[in-house]
Amino acid sequence: MATPSKKVYVDEDVGKDDPAADGSEASPYKTLLFAYIQHPPTQPTDPQYFTRKSETGPVSEDGDPEARKEWKPATKSATKKVTSLYEQHKKKLAKTDTLALREKAEQEKRQLALQEALKVKISEDPKLPKATKIRLNEKDPAIVKLRKGTSEKDVGYSEGRGSRVRITGRVHRFRTQKDVIFLVLQDGYGFLQCILTGDLTKTHDALTLTQETSMEVWGEMWEVPPGQHAPDDRELHVDYYEIIGKAAGDKDAITTRVQADGDPQSLLDNRHLVLRGEISSSVMKVRAALLRAFRQTYESEITPPCLEVTPPCMVQTQVEGGATLFEFNYYGQKAYLTQSSQLYLETCLPSLGNVFCVAPSFRAEKSLTRRHLSEYTHIEAELDFITFDDLLVHLELVMSKVIELALADPKIKKLVYDLNPDFQVPERPFMRMRYSDAITWLREHDIPNEEGKPHEFGDDIAEAAERKMTDIINRPIFLTHFPVAIKAFYMKKDPQDLRVTESVDCLMPGVGEIVGGSMRMDDYEELMAAYGREGIDPKPYYWYTDQRKYGTSPHGGYGLGLERFLAWMCGRWTVRECCLYPRFTNRCTP
Ligand code: 4AD
């Protein structure tokens, strides 16, 4: 007697596609495909598959949905459909199995190769000339061997040139082509193409090479063959190397952790690794060049020169309004991180003459914009016995000199134009535009204020409107004579129009405001009235006010945000790319 067919049950409502279910009436599956996978058909009618779902059952009188269900053999059309799906499933399984087998075979082959590679030992040939240790900023042509001819056979080297060198660095990139490894080493001073051949490519280290591995290479420096390109047109024919520190590979490889189009938060978390990239390190090199250029400009490119001073960062007074103060507890007293060193610079004028400083400034900015940082490098200068016009002329001269000096170094010029091919050196004099004319301009160009209304005299020109205007005009603008009410307490009023101040913002295309400056209130009574107007207690400012008591003078100055200047020059989208480890709303790491 034939054994009765096995019965497998599928309930589309409450069944479970889970190996914990067994396909019985009490523990049905959810889909017919899963039932096929768990209990494949062995005969056309074995097993028998039964299905049910609410809609297929008879309507019960009392409306109980459970009562609507009854088990029915799987329909012909459902069986046809599931048979095709089941065949696809089997094919997919077979393919996965083949792939897994192939991968396993490849892994075994690689393991064998790695074990063999362990036997390959390399050593420095004692007969070779002693190598000289160099860094990649050493570009003396005499260390490079020249090729005599263009064909490989014809290769020889010129008498008296070329030497064996040793260089430490990290693997910037590499590729293996036939039996040759081409790797580019980076040492912070430059890049060097290295060529590894023979046993050098067969060691365990060579087979497991990873980007960022630190190593020392020994070899002869050669001119690159005609028609080929390499940094500084030279390449090292390596005869020996030692690995100093292997860099993580696979899932932990730097290329996995840092991807050019990666999500911005992850790039910021991995800023220490991002900084190893060519773009970020180029920006940092231009930053250093700008700092050098500022110092050189202040000290020796302008008359009279400005002396560098270093004011404190921990203060008990505000400069640019209470809203952006970072407060902390200083031995039980309220203190702040400085917003600007301006007030301290003013106190230096009588004995030191014109002064400047390069110091961090801190702003508890609530807005998360691409041009606001919580900590930035502030370049500030203060000039004594000047007029407002003197201040503007000085400012455009300093900015132009700084750009000129930075670009005078061919390495920096290349970095700037690689980063920002459209960079244009601004022409002096910069365009001057009074605030009141800017309001008219914005109205004429239908650029509304933050409330969506036409701009009115007295409005604080918002960032978006300011940027639109700067981008349309597309050249540096000195925006001057802002109304008293929207500027800081210390700014001097324009004697010709007491509604406005002798103030200036320098606006740059693409970035907006990069400099803020003004003439300072030099009259004692007027300053006291300004404290009152702004609700500032004059007591903690006694040292600042005293400047007006002991030989006051017409003076003025400005502050320039280094990161904004850099973003403009290097064509960066945000100031966050223009400092080592950016601090902004809610980010104080790494
Ligand atoms: O216009 P600000 O606030 O002016 C002052 O602090 C003056 N006391 C400076 C002075 O006269 N000595 O700031 C000056 C410049 C801005 O033009 C901008 O470039 C930069 O500092 N800056 C910022 N940069 C990055 N992030 C921020 N949150 C910044 N706030 C100002």
Q: Which atom of ligand 1 is nearest to the CA of 488?
A: 8
Distance 560 CA to ligand 1 centre (A): 6
Strands 555-561 and 431-434: unpaired
Distance 104 CA to ligand 1 centre (A): 61
Distance 376 CA to ligand 1 centre (A): 9
Predicted confidence (pLDDT) at residue 214 exceeds the cutoff of 50:
yes
Cα 552 from Cα 522, distance rounded (Å): 6
pTM: 0.83
Distance 362 CA to ligand 1 centre (A): 10
561 lines ligand 1 (CB under 6 A): yes
pLDDT at residue 9 in the model = 95
Q: If you average pLDDT over every residue of the chain, what do you get? A: 92
Give per-residue pLDDT as tens, 88-140: 999 999 999 989 999 999 999 999 999 999 999 999 999 999 999 999 999 88
28: closest CA among 86, 76, 74? 74
- Top-ranked range on mean pLDDT: pick from 53-62, 294-303, 320-329: 294-303
Task: Report how far apart, in Å, the C-alpha atoms of 108 and of each of 179, 199, 204, 261, 404 are.
Answer: 21, 22, 15, 35, 60
Question: For 170, phi and psi rounded to 5 degrees?
Answer: -120, 150
- Which comes out higher in pLDDT, residue 150 or 354? 354
Q: Which atom of ligand 1 is nearest to the CA of 514?
A: 19
504: closest CA among 430, 434, 402? 434
Give per-residue pLDDT as tens, 39-53: 999 887 889 999 988
Q: CB–CB of 295/306 below 8 Å? A: no
Q: For atom 17 of ligand 1, which residue has the closest CA?
A: 515
Distance 372 CA to ligand 1 centre (A): 10
503 lines ligand 1 (CB under 6 A): no
Q: What is the pLDDT averaged over residues 303-316?
A: 98
Distance 514 CA to ligand 1 centre (A): 7
DSSP per-residue string spanning 539-589: GGGHHHHGGGTSS---EEEEEEEHHHHHHHHTT-S-GGGGSSS--BTTB--
Q: CB–CB of 385/520 below 8 Å? A: no
% of the chain residues with pLDDT over 90: 83
Confidence of residue 226 (pLDDT cuts 50, 70, 90): confident
365 lines ligand 1 (CB under 6 A): yes
pLDDT at residue 151 in the model = 46
Q: What is the pLDDT averaged over residues 574-581?
A: 97
Q: Which helix (H) or strand (E) holds 494?
A: strand 493-494
Predicted confidence (pLDDT) at residue 486 exceeds the cutoff of 90:
yes
Give per-residue pLDDT as tens, 402-448: 999 999 999 999 999 999 999 999 999 999 999 999 999 999 999 99
